[in-house]
Structure 1
Amino acid sequence: MRTYSLDDVFETRKRRDSWWTVYFVDPVACRVALPIANHTHLTPNALTVISLVLGAVSATCFALNHHVAGAVVFYLSFMIDCVDGKIARLKGTGTPFGLWLDYVGDRVRVVLCAGGLAYGQYALTSDVRYVVLGAAVAVLDLFRYVNAPQMKRVREAVREERGEREPEPESDEDIDSLERVALVPRARRPRSFPRRFNRFLARHRVRSHLISGIEFHAAVFVVAPLAGAWALIPLAAVAGVLLLVNEVFLVYRLWRFTRRHGVPSSQESREHVLV
């Protein structure tokens, strides 16, 4: 069996990722992935299942109002979820089923933990705002992960209609920077502060959109529980608004993209995009 180095694991990191992952998760996940890759036969799917089990444990802790324990276990769950992708890329053992399992596991973890927080605080205080909090967190997360692949399919359909092959962003958070680079000729790009800032972020592997689903999860399930029950509603509300603003901005960028390049007008083409 091949022996991997830490540099090999570092090579599996995404070209650009959320700042929470880059600064608070990857440094741990890479060092956890190394012994797993060298000394175990754990598959990416097995790690995904372990991550989901830890997510259920975190939800149970939240339901029992053990917020610090719930936050720590949620972090471990997310960290293991990052490790499974690194092992898959390192060993080339990723599978289409593994992609589905990882995707569904993330959604299940969020719904369980949102329900756990809502149940625990409502049982303790009888305050219906916590029920609304749990429902809002789950709905926002599901909206984001339903919207993202649909936006990607719309872009692919437009490019297919134009007969072009363009590089896809690693995620919907990168669409703004990709379009900006594609639209402005290199020699004429202005040296504006946003562009310099985006280059600074790129050098540190950080996405230009600083509030995404990952930061939302971190705020609701890690930062707020560690701060205390008083922080659950205000931090979740602020993070939720910022996430919604980010999603609206991405939709606006998609709208500009479709207007600029044109979209399929036939009913058959619309069904191809959205079904």
Structure 2
Amino acid sequence: MRTYSLDDVYETRKRRDSWWTVYFVDPVACRVALPVANRTRLTPNSLTVLSLVLGMASAVCFGTNQLVAGACVFYLSFMIDCVDGKIARLKGTGTPFGLWLDYVGDRVRVVLCAAGLAYGQYALTGDVRFILLGAAVAVLDLFRYVNAPQMKRVREIVREARLGPLTAQELERLEQERLERLPRGRSFPKRFNRFLARHRVRSHLISGIEFHAAVFVVAPLAGAWALIPLSVLAGVLLLVNEIFLVYRMWRFTRRHRVASSQESREHVLV
């Protein structure tokens, strides 16, 4: 059996990722993935299930008002969720079912932890705002995950109409070429975007991952007083980011009209 090095694990990291993952999760996840790959027979799917079990444990901690424990277990759950992808890419053992399991597991974890937080704080304080907060977190997260694949599909339809079907590697190459063609101006936004790209950080700084981190890690560690204000702030920033992404998609479709708009709509809806 092949022995992997830490550099091999580093190669499995995404080309660009959320800043929370890049700075606060990957440094741990890569070092955990190394012994998992070399010394165990754990599969990506078994790691996904372990991540989901830890997510359930985090929800129980939140529901019993153990905020610090819940935050730590949630972080551990997310970290293991990152490890499973690295093992899948490292060993080439990813499967379509694994993608589905990972997707559904993430949603279940968020819904359960949101419910746990809401129940735990409402039972303690009787403040109905915590029930509304839990519902809002779950709905916003589900909206984001329904919206993202639809936007991606729209872009794929437009690209296929212009260039024909493309593989994931070809799409990545086109994106890299686009970044390289960006003007090397001295304005702060351009320099900042290039700085982020060099450090593998995505340009939209408030994504679902940062939203989860704020609600289920940072706020519980700060204390019960921070749950509502930090969650509301993170939710507003995430919603603004989603609106901005929809606007960019709209601009993209306006620039590159598909010949048969009716056919495109049918593809998106099925």
Q: Normalising by structure 2, what TM-score?
A: 0.93
- Which aligned pairs between 1:27-46 and structure 2 lie closer than 5 A? 27-46=27-46
Deviation at 1:272?
A: 1.2
User: What is aligned with 1:253?
Assistant: 248
Q: Deviations over 1:79-132 (max 9, x none)?
A: 000000000001000000000000000000000000000000011111110000
- CA RMSD of the aligned region, Å? 2.2
The residue matched to 2:62 in structure 1 has which SS?
helix
C-alpha distance in 2 between matches for 1:2 and 1:195: 42
C-alpha distance in 1 between matches for 2:82 and 2:189: 29
C-alpha distance in 1 between matches for 2:197 and 2:179: 18
Deviation at 1:192?
A: 2.4
C-alpha distance in 2 between matches for 1:8 and 1:184: 26
User: What is aligned with 1:105?
Assistant: 105
Seen in structure 2, the aligned counterparts of structure 1 residues 266 and 137 have a Cα distance that, compared at 3 Å, is: same
Deviation at 1:269?
A: 3.0
C-alpha distance in 2 between matches for 1:25 and 1:127: 33
C-alpha distance in 1 between matches for 2:179 and 2:213: 34
91-100 or 264-273: bigger deviation: 264-273
Residue identity opposite 2:244 in structure 1: F
User: What is aligned with 1:193?
Assistant: 188
Report the identity percentage.
82
C-alpha distance in 1 between matches for 2:261 and 2:142: 29
C-alpha distance in 2 between matches for 1:263 and 1:127: 51
C-alpha distance in 2 between matches for 1:265 and 1:92: 38
Residue identity opposite 2:268 in structure 1: V
Q: Deviations over 1:175-201 (max 9, x none)?
A: xxx59x749955x55442211111111
**8 Å Cα contact 1:219-1:236 kept in structure 2:** yes
C-alpha distance in 2 between matches for 1:163 and 1:77: 40
Q: Normalising by structure 1, what TM-score?
A: 0.92
C-alpha distance in 2 between matches for 1:241 and 1:264: 36
Seen in structure 2, the aligned counterparts of structure 1 residues 163 and 15 have a Cα distance that, compared at 3 Å, is: closer
Seen in structure 2, the aligned counterparts of structure 1 residues 81 and 219 have a Cα distance that, compared at 3 Å, is: same
Name the count of aligned residue pairs.
268
- Any gaps of 5 or more consecutive residues in structure 2? none
The residue matched to 1:42 in structure 2 has which SS?
coil
Q: Which residue of 213, 221, 246 maps to 2:216?
A: 221
- Any gaps of 5 or more consecutive residues in structure 1? none
Q: Deviations over 1:123-163 (max 9, x none)?
A: 11111100000000001100101000000100111122223
C-alpha distance in 1 between matches for 2:137 and 2:241: 15
150-159 or 50-59: bigger deviation: 150-159
